[in-house]
Amino acid sequence: MHDLHFYPGNASLFPHMLLRELGCPFTLTRVDRDNDAQKGAAYLALNPHGKIPVLVSGGRAIYETVAIGLYLADAHIEAGLAPAIGAPERAEHYKWMTHISNVLQAEFRAWFYPHEFVDDPALADHVKAALGVRLTASFQRISDQLGDRPWLLESGFSTSDLYLLMMTRWGRTLPKPAREIGGLGAHAERVLARPAVQQALKAEGLEAPFV
């Protein structure tokens, strides 16, 4: 049994959608982020960095969004949401999961919380301006690589498509929304059409427009 510590629309949305796609038993534990519960002693015992999400599986607490996604896909490899270990396309799976985590998600942190990256609050707007350009360029490169394919991996739908949907959703806040860049809007619609994704959005109380 897996237990996902989540907050609606947070970085926990990706593993939440993934759990539903996998069809495995799980529970949801909502973190009272509005009252900084993620900074409390009980949560810090699970994740000393005080960030959401955390997945508790087999008595072990796993944090970092990409780590949770990689773990779940491998723990339920029979679901086919990641290439088999040793398969040639496994490298592409690692590439996309790492890229989305290290580039998009990392830079969205600065986009949403620019004050954490400056020692002068007056410079926060400069951080956002620079990140808007960088994120837009990153989404464009991803769209270019996606091309006419329906999914990021040639083998078909995978965890990376769910992860990218969450980033495209966050990208609705950019000066040029990510959905308007190349084929990313169409990609998002394909992922959003999946029943498991709709179930996750409903369970978190998220409402359209989703991206």
Q: Domain 90-194 is in which class?
A: mainly alpha
- Quickly state the pLDDT bin for 167 (edges 50, 70, 90): very high
DSSP letter (8 states) at residue 83: P
Give pLDDT tens digits for 89-124.
Answer: 999 999 999 999 999 999 999 999 999 888 998 898
Q: Give the rounded percent of residues in the chain with a pLDDT score beyond 90.
A: 94
Q: What is the CATH architecture of 2-79? A: 3-Layer(aba) Sandwich (3.40)
Please give the pLDDT value at position 160: 98
Please give the pLDDT value at position 156: 96
Please give the pLDDT value at position 99: 97
Cα–Cα distance between 161 and 155 in angstroms, integer?
A: 12
Q: Where in the chain is the domain with CATH 3.40.30.10?
A: 2-79
Pick the closest to residue 191 from 18, 54, 27 (CA basis).
18
Q: What is the mean pLDDT of the chain?
A: 96
